[in-house]
Amino acid sequence: MSEDVEELKGIFSVLSSQVPALIRGIVASVFSEEAGREMGKAAGAFYKGLIEAGIPHDDAIKMTENYISVFTNLGEIMKRLSPGMEKEKEKKIKKEAEEKEAGEQAEQQ
């Protein structure tokens, strides 16, 4: 029985270290510049398909907005599942701003 408990502890240990990294990776891929371009292409193709199928313009717009919101909502859910992601993003932005400022100061000297 104690072997089962130790095995379970090991599994939870791996999960606690691997799952957050997996979620952060998924969120980063959903909100990357490339993902944004691909989402735009997918939305355009979706809309075009609706129009070609004879769906009225206003309905096609609403349906396309709903289509895009599925991805947006999924991304928001993933962000909430990974609270450390926002802190890491803030740190990265702050670091980049500091590096840029240091570079500008070096150029002025």
Determine the pLDDT at residue 89.
63
Determine the pLDDT at residue 52.
95
13 membership: H or E segment, kind and range: helix 2-30
Residue 100 in this model has a pLDDT that exceeds 80: no
CA separation for the pair 71, 69 (Å, rounded): 5
Tens of pLDDT along 7-49? Answer: 777 777 777 777 677 767 766 666 677 877 888 899 999 999 9
Determine the pLDDT at residue 53.
95
Residue 4 half-sphere exposure toward CB, CA atoms < 13 A? 1
Tens of pLDDT along 41-93? Answer: 999 999 999 999 999 999 999 999 998 888 777 767 766 766 555 566 666 77
In the DSSP assignment, the letter for residue 53 is: T
Determine the pLDDT at residue 65.
92
Orientation of helix 57-81 relative to helix 83-108, angle to 10°? 90
pTM: 0.47
